[in-house]
Chain A
Amino acid sequence: MRNVGLIYKTAIDRRPTLKARLNSFGGGGKQVRTIHALNDINLDIDYGQVLGVIGANGAGKSTLMRVIAGILPPTQGRVEVYGSVSTLLALGVGFNPAMTGRQNVYLGGLAAGLSQEQIEENFEEIADFSELGEAIDSPMRSYSSGMYARLAFSVAATVKPDILIVDEALSTGDAKFKEKSFNRLKELRGQDRALILVSHAMLTLREVCNDVVWLHKGKLIQRGEPGAVIDAYQEFLHVGKSAAVDEDL
């Protein structure tokens, strides 16, 4: 990524009334706010690297991931991506709650870029990993949020791209499933793949990543060895080291 920036404008309707809307036809009324979501980001990520991305809410972490994945075009700079990218930015993308879990494995898998054959080959593994049992043939509307998230993660973890971007997807399910998904992510590490993890779970990042970047208000503040960057970030936030902070800041 070279000098990447992303600016967007959003309209502010201070008084969303009919009178204000009619007045705005005359040219006045609406105020426009310019947001610098990303500001002059330079970043190289190599194969074999597991990059953690940290930062407070609104730092631009998800926006950066969407720019790397080609979902959002940058407004300045240039991004070059070598290889296929798969995103796990939100769970259950492509799912239809009216369909059964089984049907959604196909829908979600196809949405993630898998072929029908690949899904068929991996179906048993996905179903086993999700631990849904017979509920796989029930409509997803009847699922609890944990069951929904487990199936969604199981489908997404089947995709084995060159570059995998995961945004907060580890914080799903119960403790046992969190551990399973954490282990799956560790399995996905390798010399032939780049893994980018956005998370507030500092312990996970310390253990999994070999490199961490810290973003703040769209700017890259620090990059380097996970321990050093995470410590600096925690110091900046004035939070001490504790289990609670490490797991879910």
Chain B
Amino acid sequence: MKAPVQVYEPFRAGLPPLGRYWKSLWQRRTFISQFSKSELREQHFDSVFGQLWLVLNPLLLSGVYFLLVVIIGGRSDTTRYAHLTASLFLFYLVSHSLTGGVKSVTAGQKLILNTAFPRIMLPISATIIAIFKFIPTLFVFLIIRIIVGLPFGWQMLWAIPVFLITALFALGLSIAIACVNVYFRDVASFLPYFNRTMLYLSPILYEASSLKPKLRLMQYVNPLFPILDSWSRAVVHAQAPSMHKLLAGLIWAVAIFVIGTYFFLSREREFAVRL
């Protein structure tokens, strides 16, 4: 009988045959999609509003910040409010990818111990869920943008490459943290504090241009800094982002994705023993 041969030998850290791995992952693309959708549905399964929460969440979030910035803060600068909501929504794409990714492998114990499949599917699924959650926020932001009367322009199309860079960055982080959490379970407990710190260190509650000169170093050490600034330039100000910031965001995203994926793929055959 002519049949594909699989050889299993003692685990050594190193990459599996990438061609075969990619083929196997591609064959499972429908499962990744269905698995992500079912996980997303489960999150709001028992609630009255169900999937409507995907729109209600960003609406309520923007409502809270409207209360803080415009009503309590007394600022009539609607551009600032638009910047805050747009940046916050994109930040949550990364944040949701991290929080979903961190336990994606450890929570997938039943699947991992009983089926042979590319384990990277689990953190990928976490990022897909984060993207599913992000899409409705775009419509919410569009409505806010129309209400506050910001100008539209072709330069807003820069949002597409910025989104793709963010998705790659979020995926890289999700893959990396899912792997780290297999070995150091404390990571999941540290994550909320890490997320909160990143929120304050990124140009969300303030614009990048208003940063004090002595704090400018942040834009080089915080990967989210150039990404969020480029996003705000494109979707709020309808301007082309600065090329060096876009490039910096891309380099960060590619670096995190490559390092995270290498780390994950070289260890994943050992996961079943660690769970």
Contact = CB atoms under 8 A, between A and B. Distances in A.
B8 A76 contact: no
B115 interface: yes
Nearest to A112: B115
Given A98-B41, A110-B31, A87 B114 contact: yes
A113 B112 CA distance: 14
B51 interface: no
A103 B8 contact: no
B1 A89 contact: no
B45 A98 contact: yes
A78 B115 CA distance: 20
Interface stretch (B61-69, B196-204, B216-224, B266-274): B266-274
Nearest to A139: B45
Interface string A116-156: 10000000000000000000000000000000000000000
Contacts of B116: 69-71, 85, 87
Contact of B4 (A72, A73, A83): A83
B17 to A, nearest CB: 13
Contact of B1 (A69, A71, A113, A192): A192
B11 interface: yes
Contacts of A201: none
A67 interface: yes
A73 B270 contact: yes
A94 interface: yes
A110 B41 contact: no
Contact of A71 (B4, B31, B41, B114): B114
Interface in B134-186: none
B79 interface: no
B232 to A, nearest CB: 37
A70 B6 contact: yes
A233 interface: no
B30 interface: yes
A47 B10 contact: no
B38 interface: yes
B5 interface: yes
Interface in B1-47: 1, 3-11, 28, 30-31, 34-35, 38-39, 41-42, 45
Contacts, number: 107
Query: Chain A interface: which size bin?
Result: 35 or more
Contact of B3 (A69, A83, A90, A111): A83
A66 B8 contact: no
B251 interface: no
Contact of A90 (B4, B7, B31, B110): B110
B247 interface: no
B111 interface: yes
Interface string A6-50: 001000000000000000000000000000000000000001000
B38 A66 contact: no
A96 B43 CA distance: 11
B30 A93 contact: no
Nearest to A46: B1
A106 B35 CA distance: 10
Given A87-B114, A96-B38, A74 B4 contact: no
Contact of A99 (B30, B41, B112): B41
B5 A79 contact: no
Interface of B: 1, 3-11, 28, 30-31, 34-35, 38-39, 41-42, 45, 110-117, 269-270, 272-273
9 contacts: A70-B116, A75-B10, A79-B9, A82-B3, A82-B5, A84-B4, A94-B35, A110-B28, A192-B1
The 7 closest A-B pairs by CB, nearest first: A110-B31, A83-B3, A73-B11, A98-B42, A98-B45, A79-B8, A96-B38
Interface of A: 8, 47, 66-67, 69-85, 87, 89-90, 93-94, 96, 98-99, 103, 106-107, 110-113, 115-116, 162, 192
Given A66-B113, A71-B116, A94-B115, 4 more contacts: A73-B8, A74-B9, A78-B8, A107-B35
